[in-house]
Structure 1
Amino acid sequence: MIDLPPYADRDLVAERLPLIFPEGTPNRNYCVRELAASTVFAALYVGAVEGTGCYLGPVHVYRMTNEQAARAEDAERLGYDKAVLKRGGHVSGARWYADNTREPIRDETLRDGLVAIGAITRREDLPTTSGKPRYALKRDFAALFDPALAGEALEKRIAEFQATHLSKSALARVTIMQAGAAARSDGVLVTFPSGETRPLAPGPSSFIAQGVVEVFAPRFLETPAVLWLSESGNKVVVRDDRIAASIGLNIEADKNLPDLILADLAPRDPLIVFVEVVATDGAITPRRQEAIFDLTDAAGFDRRQIAFVTAYQDRASAGFKKTVTQLAWGSFAWFVSEPDHIVILRTGSGTCASLAQLVPG
């Protein structure tokens, strides 16, 4: 008989998963949704934990019922494991899910979610066509659902798990996302390239704007300058008419102006970067792009001196998912949570490069 882990109900599992996999975790939705809680619960219920020799299959999840899940005795738990693996094995009550939930459990919750993140291990000695159970919770992951573990002890164990199983880039992304959450209530102090600081109102847009000024600008511009920064309600936080005039740009309040205007003063002909900050809406769309081009054309700027960037908090954010299909070709997208990377929406004007030419070297 295997040594079963302490009984934990599905509500406890559902409560802890978002703590273990905070905002910024890759494929987080697959790891924290109800189907993930059901999967982890079922694995704990039957004792499918690394080193026990017991394994979980999707069938353990979709054949579970409320009546069975409430039976916490070891004999009931082990009996369920045997029943679901038998043809015609009886389990009382209405199933949690239909049989066709097998694919999202296997492909999303397990393969792309909990296995990919290192919370669940998978047997590799079975043929891909085998119907035998092949998944088991990692021991240190399973231990996080012990009901006796709480408070600071739980927080410590979660931190240890994250440090071991989340990659460096994932941990950095989580840290940045947590900083953004704090900024929603605490407000944001932005340090500009000149060294001057200005406070911005609390909220996700201010956190993204801070990232554009403090991180994006020095990473992607040689000699960055901030010419314009406005907040919601058209409150102008920064307006540097001196630098703007020196490069021939006359900034006048206009409904088409974006949240931020940056300049790279290093090139002989300075690059002017129009940045739209998106927490929920307001990307650089083709219409916005053309409206801004009208302004810069009238001022005598070559279009090669103009760049457009839409800045988001994260690729998984609601704002990005809502507006990605609206982004203008010939513009860029940048994410605070992945600051070293940038998305280029390359146009097909002129001779289109082959895919081989576009592959990063």
Structure 2
Amino acid sequence: MAALVHVEAVCGKDAPADAVHWARPSTVMWTSDEVFIRMDDDSRRSYRDAASRGSKQVDELHQAWGVPYQPVYKENSRETLRDETFRGWREHGALQMRPGIPTSSSAPRWALSEEFADLFDPDLEEEAFRKAAEQWRETHMDPGARLKAAFALDAETAKHAVIVDLPDGTKRTLENSNSSLIIKGVVESWAPARMGKPVVLAISEPGVKVHMGDERMLQILKIKIDVNNVLPDVLMADIGADPVQFWIVEAVATDGPVSAERKKALLAWAARQNIKADRCSFLTAFLSRNADAARRRLKDLASGTWAWYADEPGHELAWYSLTPSADDL
């Protein structure tokens, strides 16, 4: 993929064949680290031309650059790339083959489909990429292929995921992020020390992804989790307290502490769940007191709330008015 983008082997839907920079499997196999670090047009064009002629020319190009030629792939893996990877990509519309070229010919005849190559635009932000990739899969893959892709994506995500051990012994897999690390600390370290009997009711992640905690307890408490609500990052209940106390937690890796405005919105959300204001407690959790988010946002904490740092789990900050008013509820 990277090699084809590097040499601009990309074909638009209606592009004339003569206007496309076609590539061979060997264009991929003969790449080297030196090829990839040379991003200027002349170097990329030189490699494309050399790879279209033969390995000797690629070796000579590296000599001209004054570096040893060390390809990243073994020569005998070319057939696997051509017969399995390229063929599979072509079936899904990710790759195009130049018409009119005999299968026995060594002439360059492969190029990425433009709409597939667009998915790798470095300017695409994470959420925009996810939506574009999902749209591409829906358009080009049959249900079986989409299932395989989803399984592979889940497996890859799991390698880098943050696993949170809930108080009831179950686990939740969160995306690899500082927010997830903060949530892990809140659930595994802060909650057991702070609460008599903690229960995780829900955890939310960016992209409106919600992980249910104890669903049986949600039903007992008659709390409905709706992604359209103003959801906190973590909703917990201390069922060891009498009456039950609800903890509304915001994990702040970059922004989003329990400010006065946010507290008001969260209390309105709680009211819709029939949770009284005096049953709600609020925690803003940071990675560290030295974290940029903590230095910038600690001053914005709402009165009547707490703060906690994941790297100092045995301590907690409280911010409250010495003369409480109705606004402190």
- With structure 1 as the length reference, what TM-score do the two structures score? 0.44
Looking at CA atoms only, which structure, 1 or 2, has the larger radius of gyration?
2
- With structure 2 as the length reference, what TM-score do the two structures score? 0.48
